[in-house]
Structure 1
Amino acid sequence: MPLQSWFSDAKLGIFVHYGIYAVDGVPESWSFYTGQVSHEQYMKQLEGFTAARYDPRESAALFARAGARYAVMTARHHDGVALWDTALGDLDVVRHTPAARDLVGPYADALREQGLKVGLYYSHSDWNHPDYASVLHPRPTHDDVNTSRWVAPADGVEDPAAWARYLAYRDGQVGELVDRYRPDLLWFDGEWERAEEQWGLDALAARILAGNPDTVLNARMLGHGDYATPEQGVPLQAPEGPWELCLTVNDSWGFQHGDTNHKSVRQLVRYFAETIGMGGNLLLDVGPREDGTITDEQAARLEGLGGWIAAHREAVYGTVAGLPAGHHYGPSTLSPDRRTLYLVCFDPPRDSVGVRGLRNRVRRVSVLGTGAPLTHRVVGGLAEVPGVTWIDAPAARDVDAYATVLAVELDGELDLYRGTGRD
Structure 2
Amino acid sequence: MPMQPWFRDAKLGIFVHYGIYAVEGVPESWSFYSGQLSREAYMAQLDRFTAAAYDPEGWAALFARAGARYAVLTARHHDGVALWDTAYGNLDVVRHTPSGRDLLGGYAEALRGRGLRVGLYYSHSDWSHPDYASVVHPEPPNADVATHPLVVPKDGVEDPAAWARYLAYRDGQVGELVDRFRPDLLWFDGEWERVEEQWGLEALAARILKSSPDTVLNARMLSHGDYATPEQGVPLLPPDGPWELSLTVGDAWGHQRGDDRPKSVHQLVRYFTETIGMGGNLLLGLGPREDGTFQAEHVERLEGLGAWIARHAEAVYGTGAGLPAGHHYGPSTLSADRRTVYLFCFDPPREAVSVRGLRTAVKRVRVVGTGAEPAHRITGGLHDVPGVLWIDAPAAADIDPRATVLAVELDGELKLYRGAGRS
Do Structure 1 and Structure 2 share a fold, with TM-score over 0.5?
Answer: yes
Contact 1:134–1:162 (8 Å) recurs in 2: yes
Instruction: Deviation per CA, 1:298-335: give whole Å up to 9, x if none.
Output: 00000000000000000001210000110000000000
Aligned to 1:164: 164
Q: Name the TM-score, length of structure 2 as normaliser.
A: 1.00
Aligned to 2:312: 312
SS of match in other structure, 1:373: coil
Tell me how far apart the structure 1 counterparts of residues 181 and 187 of structure 2 sit (CA, whole Å).
14
Matched, 1:208 2:208: yes
| Amino acid corresponding to residue 247 of structure 1 in structure 2 | L
Tell me how far apart the structure 1 counterparts of residues 24 and 66 of structure 2 sit (CA, whole Å).
28
Tell me how far apart the structure 2 counterparts of residues 175 and 285 of structure 1 sit (CA, whole Å).
25
Aligned to 1:420: 420
Instruction: Deviation per CA, 1:189-215: give whole Å up to 9, x if none.
Output: 000000111000011001100111000
* Bigger Cα displacement from structure 2, 136-145 vs 3-12: 136-145
Contact 1:251–1:259 (8 Å) recurs in 2: yes
Paired residues for 1:16-415 under 5 Å: 16-415=16-415
Tell me how far apart the structure 1 counterparts of residues 181 and 259 of structure 2 sit (CA, whole Å).
33
Tell me how far apart the structure 1 counterparts of residues 408 and 156 of structure 2 sit (CA, whole Å).
63
Instruction: Deviation per CA, 1:77-126: give whole Å up to 9, x if none.
Output: 00000000000000000000000000000000000000000000000000
Q: How many Å apart are 1:273 and its aligned residue? A: 0.4
Tell me how far apart the structure 2 counterparts of residues 37 and 351 of structure 1 sit (CA, whole Å).
57
Contact 1:279–1:321 (8 Å) recurs in 2: yes
Q: How many Å apart are 1:155 and its aligned residue? A: 1.9
| Amino acid corresponding to residue 384 of structure 1 in structure 2 | D
Q: How many residues align?
A: 423
| Amino acid corresponding to residue 22 of structure 2 in structure 1 | A
SS of match in other structure, 2:25: coil
Tell me how far apart the structure 1 counterparts of residues 400 and 65 of structure 2 sit (CA, whole Å).
19
Tell me how far apart the structure 2 counterparts of residues 159 and 356 of structure 1 sit (CA, whole Å).
62
Q: How many Å apart are 1:257 and its aligned residue? A: 2.1
SS of match in other structure, 2:236: coil
Tell me how far apart the structure 2 counterparts of residues 105 and 408 of structure 1 sit (CA, whole Å).
44
Tell me how far apart the structure 2 counterparts of residues 369 and 242 of structure 1 sit (CA, whole Å).
28
| Amino acid corresponding to residue 63 of structure 1 in structure 2 | F
* Bigger Cα displacement from structure 2, 291-300 vs 139-148: 139-148
Q: How many Å apart are 1:258 and its aligned residue? A: 1.1
Instruction: Deviation per CA, 1:244-284: give whole Å up to 9, x if none.
Output: 00000000000012110110000000000000000000000
Contact 1:142–1:192 (8 Å) recurs in 2: no
| Amino acid corresponding to residue 184 of structure 1 in structure 2 | D
SS of match in other structure, 2:268: helix
Q: How many Å apart are 1:233 and its aligned residue? A: 0.8
Q: Which runs of 5+ in 2 are unaligned?
A: none
Tell me how far apart the structure 2 counterparts of residues 403 and 362 of structure 1 sit (CA, whole Å).
22
Instruction: Deviation per CA, 1:23-71: give whole Å up to 9, x if none.
Output: 0000000010011111111010001100000000001000000000000
Tell me how far apart the structure 2 counterparts of residues 322 and 140 of structure 1 sit (CA, whole Å).
39
| Amino acid corresponding to residue 3 of structure 1 in structure 2 | M
Contact 1:201–1:221 (8 Å) recurs in 2: yes
SS of match in other structure, 2:378: strand
Tell me how far apart the structure 2 counterparts of residues 120 and 353 of structure 1 sit (CA, whole Å).
42
CA RMSD of the aligned region, Å? 0.5
SS of match in other structure, 1:341: strand
Contact 1:344–1:404 (8 Å) recurs in 2: yes
Q: How many Å apart are 1:17 and its aligned residue? A: 0.3
Q: Which runs of 5+ in 1 are unaligned?
A: none
Q: How many Å apart are 1:350 and its aligned residue? A: 1.0
| Amino acid corresponding to residue 340 of structure 1 in structure 2 | T
Tell me how far apart the structure 2 counterparts of residues 93 and 305 of structure 1 sit (CA, whole Å).
32
